[in-house]
Amino acid sequence: FDIGSAHIVLHISAGSLPIWSSGACGEGESSLVTELLRGIPSVVSIGWHGQHSTPGCPAAGALAAGASYTAVAADGTLRSNPLVFQIG
């Protein structure tokens, strides 16, 4: 199973407003194949610096305001359960 940055994407939103996507900047290993075994998690770290993203990341985006945000990881049509978190 490929957990590289070209396959697993983390989306952060505020309500229906997209804030940031790890797919916008294409950082990290684009392909990172791991063997999935029942009961043993495969982990990949994806960091967000608290800024809005734009495709290709031509410049640093504006800092996200203090609010409630939702993070969802995706691989094609597969989606994780949403994780709600607060800033500020």
What's residue 49's pLDDT?
A: 85
Average pLDDT for the chain: 85
What's residue 77's pLDDT?
A: 85
What's residue 8's pLDDT?
A: 82
pLDDT surpasses 90 at 18: yes
Per-residue pLDDT, averaged over 16-25, amounts to 88
Task: Write the DSSP assignment of the chain as a string of letters.
Answer: -B-STTT-EEEEEETTEEEEEGGGTT-S-S--B---BTTB---------SB---TT--SPPPBPPSEEEEEEEEETTEEPPPEEEEE-
Strand-pairing partners, residue 20, are: 12
pLDDT in tens, 22-63: 888 766 667 778 788 899 987 777 888 898 988 777 777 888
What's residue 28's pLDDT?
A: 65
What's residue 37's pLDDT?
A: 87
